[in-house]
Structure 1
Amino acid sequence: MSGIRGTGVRAALFTVPLVLGLLGAAAAPAGAAGSHTPRPGASLTCRGKGVDPDALVRHRAEIVINAPLRTVWKLQTDVERWPSWQAPVETVERLDHGPFRKGSAFRWTTPVPPNPSTPATSLEITSTVRQIEPNSCIRWTGPAIGEGLRIDGVHVWNFTEVKGGVRVSTEETHTGAQVEADVPTATRILREGLESWLRDLKSAAEGRSHNQTH
């Protein structure tokens, strides 16, 4: 799953998923500069696998980052350093060792503010990489668990070199009784989380790229 960030449940469990969405990073208004929601179309995939086709809560977003692909990929896959550029991520622990690969797992935490359905809590997300293609795509899944809250998420990331940098596209789905009880709100939170994650990734990658060239 993505995660629950900022003022919402950042569920990017797989993003830092609803969790990024729900857990989202300091959420900003939809359509903020630098990111946008693509038109509806085929779901993103990694090595032929995508998000949950039956999930009621889902969102897809993308952004263009003016930095080398290797820089963007390194930031995204060096999960233990996420807290250094994503303030909503409090802790991250790799559950395996060595290169980030299929089967790699990591546990991370993010705070969740109180909402009509659940009290304020800390969300613990355990994400497992199911598919990966170096410098191209990642798909991870896993539960996000907090007091009175459980979200099961699937998160797909695509990285494509384009003129001027890298287009990062992400799509995530969430399932669970709490989020399905209010799909519009859960979807909004997921959207805010994913767009916040993309903005943070862009800022970190472009900042690192600038520093390396000066």
Structure 2
Amino acid sequence: MHFTTPTGPRVTRIVAVAAGIAVAVAGCGSGGDAEPGSGSSTAAPTSESAAADSAEPAEGNECAGMGIDHDAAVTRESDIVIDAPLREVWDTHTDVEGWVGWQKAILTIERLDQGALSATSQFRWTTPVPESQFSPADTLVITSSVRQLEPGACVIWEGPAVGKTISIDKGVHLWTFTEKDGGTLVHTEESWAAPFLDSLKGPDYDTVAAMLGGGLDLWLQDLKAEVESSAGPN
């Protein structure tokens, strides 16, 4: 991602703004998250992703040959097993207009095309960035474009997020779905890149990376809760 803000150049201030965005948009999962950068790293696992690490990894880290930007300054991945058939998980996840009903961070969402989600679909949604001592409250408008999609297997999208005080130029978010022991293993990856991220070190870097990972974990937890609460017997 590329964050821009009218506040001062101090990295600690920018990091706080970035962290606020990550919490608000669950890792910027829907809109976009990556542009080429000059470093790569993965944050230490959160408690949710650490538990998921015991599961077998999803098959592959691409969708129809396309993956996230592994050269970005910050990358993160997470997994969760959902006790429901793959078809039910897939249908819930790709019904993007339904996200507003089970994701707290989404204010509005609209499809920009018709029919089932496809490799050419676009959707636009909004998410709040809460006020903090570092930044005023804001609302991001995120336009997501699907780049690849294999029904029942994977989807990857990217796109900008624009607010009054904060902008995200581009991002990439990958999802893969694999049947596992009667349930579904969902694997997701996301990457962020921006010049200021390349300069972050130590606790500042760890804070931003952990926020990205935490956002992915929250999205997966919400998806699991929604599907398992409405799924019938396997």
TM-score (norm 1): 0.80
Alignment of structure 1 residues 58-137 onto 2, 5 Å: 58-115=75-132, 118-137=135-154
Which runs of 5 or more structure 2 residues have no equivalent in the other structure? 2-18, 35-44
1:155-175 CA deviation, whole Å, 9 max, x = no partner? 000000010300000000122
Partner of 2:183: 165
Aligned to 2:25: 10
Q: 1:77 to 1:48 in 2, by over 3 A?
A: same
Partner SS for 2:222? helix
Letter in structure 2 aligned against 1:32: E
Call closer, same or farther: CA 1:150–1:119 in 2, change over 3 Å: same
CA contact (8 A) 1:130 1:140 kept: yes
Give CA deviations for 1:63-104 in whole Å, capped at 9, x if unaligned.
000001111001110000101111111111101111210110
User: Unpaired runs of 5+ in structure 1?
Assistant: 20-28
CA distance in 1, matches of 2:126, 2:229: 25
Name the SS for the 1:32 alignment partner.
Answer: helix
What is the total number of aligned residue pairs between the two structures? 200
How far apart in 2 are the matches of 1:72 and 1:34? 22
**Superimposed CA distance per residue, residues 24-43 of structure 1 (whole angstroms, 9 cap, x where no aligned partner):** xxxxx921389535899x97
Question: Would you say the 8 A contact 2:49–2:79 is kept in 1?
Answer: no
SS state at 2:114 partner: coil
- Give yes or no for the alignment of 1:199 onto 2:221: yes
Distance 2:197 2:102 in 1: 27
Aligned partner of 2:209 in structure 1 is 187
Structure 1 position 109, deviation (Å): 0.8
Does residue 139 (structure 1) correspond to residue 156 (structure 2)? The answer is: yes
Larger Rg: 2
**How far did 1:9 drift?**
4.0
Q: Report what 1:31 is aligned to.
A: 47
Q: Report the alpha carbon displacement of residue 115 of structure 1 after superposing the two structures with TM.
A: 4.9
Can you list the C-alpha shifts for 1:108-154, whole angstroms capped at 9, x where unaligned? 11111245764321111111000000000001011112233222210
* Mean CA deviation greater in 148-157 or 198-207: 148-157
Contact 1:50 1:156 in 2 (8 A): yes
**1:163-205: CA deviations, max 9, x gaps?**
0300000000122356666543222211111100000000111
Compared CA separation, residues 71 and 5, structure 1 to 2 (3 A): farther
More strand by share: 1
TM-score (norm 2): 0.74
Q: Which amino acid aligns with 1:147?
A: K
Residues in 1 aligned to 2:133 and 2:107: alpha-carbon distance in whole angstroms: 24
